[in-house]
Amino acid sequence: MTVPASTRVRPPTRIAIEGVRPEIDAGRFPIKRVTGDTVVVEADVFADGHDVLGCRLLYRREADTEWQTAAMTALGNDRWRGAFTVDALGRYRYTVEGWVDEFGTWRKALAARIGAGQDVRVELLIGAALVEAAAGRAAGADADRLRQWARALRDAAQTDKAGVALSEDLAALVDRYPDRAAGARYERELAVVVDRPKARFSTWYEVFPRNLSPEPGRHGTFRDCIAWLPYVAEMGFDVLYLPPIHPIGLTGRKGPNNAVQAGPDAVGSPWAIGAAEGGHTAVHPSLGTLDDFRALVEAARAAGLEIALDLAYQCSPDHPYVKGHPEWFRARPDGTIQNAENPPKKYQDIIPFDFDSADWRAMWEELKRVVEFWIGHGVKIFRVDNPHTKALAFWEWAITDLKAAHPDLILLSEAFTRPRVMYRLAKLGFTQSYTYFTWRNTREDLTAYFQELTGTDVAEYFRPNLWPNTPDILHEYLQTGGRPAFAVRGVLAATLGASYGVFGPAFELAENVPREPGSEEYLHSDKYEVRPRSLDQPGSLRPLVTRLNRIRRENPALQSNERLRFHATDNPLFLCYSKATADGANAILTVVNLDPVNRQSGWVTLDLAALGLHADEPYEVRDLLDGARFTWTGARNYVELSPARMPAHVLRLERRPPPAGAPA
């Protein structure tokens, strides 16, 4: 088709940009990083023909209008790589530009012609015009220097025009002022959400504050919780997570062991939120007052801990919302309000919100206000109960809005659901997520699952938080394996994941009695009764937990999920894996006996390249759990682990110094 002369403009660009990574769902969702991270971006950038191309990475904070730039380096096969650092909380944008480098193309061809002994007088004039054009895009001293170069290329008296033309100084100066007019920019601006470092590396301890009274028979308080802070802090945790702290409804209240009929002394489940005393912005009167809660937040901060609150969007039938806003709940044909159900399970003490309510806008605003209320009381971390049973659109709207105002907010998604739903919630903005770790107990299952979490695009947006136990989940492995099983799962959680948590003190006391055979619920669950414990019980795992948390703090390799590598073992009951920092200065190798009953032995075969080791290089490994040291050589080494003593090695690689006089 002929284009009328009056409308002719530059032809469509010759540049193609594709295969940009990282990019989630064609740019629909952001990737995630923490402050100080380097974002590495790759893209395929190419054009027809054999011209030399230029490529750069554009990035900016979302609120800024001006782009910053970083050069991209050619990797071969039309692949390019660049990087930028994110140093502030919030959102960044990035994209890629490519263009034909006319000067670089000319320079490459000129070198070939000179090498072939051809006459290049005309080519030098072409080059002079290209340098002159670059001078027009430059200013000041650079423009003057470029014009001098152009005159030198045209000067008949210049005897070394080839040397002038191929000068590296000239090439570097022209590269500062490329002609991008006929270039192309990637069709999408991609996003990065930048969180604080605790979003990546955190260590959680969950406890019911009502269990913390030192006096038998008395309901624990926030003040009792303050007295508990040293216990938690000394074990090395940095997040103290409290189940719901709100008034508990009377209607449908559950008794011990989830009994439908509750006696007069039943305290009920904290997740049955709301009573005459208030709802989601009130505290249970037996715990204390809002002033007491603020005192707890401040005391925790002084102890190096942050308080995380449970955010459970559901109500007791006695919640003020039910009377004040019945339109926010789903009515049954008989006029009653629908209780929460997961057939055949029924939750007689809980009713869910109807996210399709005709008054959904007002309800959504109120639910967001609940988070803002607690942020106003010093809370910036929330564990969100069952987010997969609430509208996905609600979460995207609420989290985006909340994070815009509070970019240091951390939201942990407790969604034990289908993988796609779990991942979608992470894409929508949840900072961290519970995982299927609890149900992955074999070498094959653990390896496959963590390769998915850390070795695919999932790692760009999904931050796993590993929990060996929760108030709801006591896995069969823990029920049958006793104390060694808790040690195994504790080591795995602390070293496989940069973030992990335990429900205590049930975890460190290795409580493993289920409500009944085949159940994953605890007998005498803390969810339904006040259960104070003596912490000085023989065999407590407190020393092991303390040691693991110290190891995590002292070894940067364990503070990220990057560079997790699994290594071969000839015993299927061994799991061997490593983590290392980008520079290799810190490398941790973990070997775990997955059999909590029997001593196991075998050979591990290490991927030496992943550890930065040579085949004939002796190296020392130090077990950070007990201080033992071993000298290993090569890939294949023998390991023996007894669960009765310690079911794992957590080894730090410490290269042996060369002998005196040996070459460095």
Residues annotated as catalytic (active site), given as ranges: 385, 414
Of the candidates 551, 577, 580, the one whose C-alpha atom is nearest the C-alpha of residue 563 is 580
- Whether the Cβ atoms of residue 253 and residue 268 lie closer than 8 Å to each other: yes
Distance CA 325, CA 589 (A): 56
The CA distance from 263 to 529, in Å, is 11
At what angle are helices 102-115 and 168-175 packed, to 10 degrees?
160
DSSP code at position 621 = E
d(CA 624, CA 187) in angstroms, rounded, equals: 50
User: In degrees to the nearest 10, what's the CA dihedral of 451, 452, 455, 458?
Assistant: -160
Assign residue 439 a region (left: φ > 0; alpha: ψ between -120 and 50; beta: otherwise): alpha
Residue linked to tokens 């715990």: 287
List the structure tokens of 183: 């270039």
Q: How far apart are the first and last CA of the chain?
A: 69
Q: Which of 176, 277, 163, 207 is nearest to 502 (CA)?
A: 207
Residues 437/502, Cβ–Cβ less than 8 Å: no
How would you label 363-387 residue by residue, b for 16+ Cβ within 10 Å and e otherwise? bbebbbeebeebbeeebbbbbbbbb
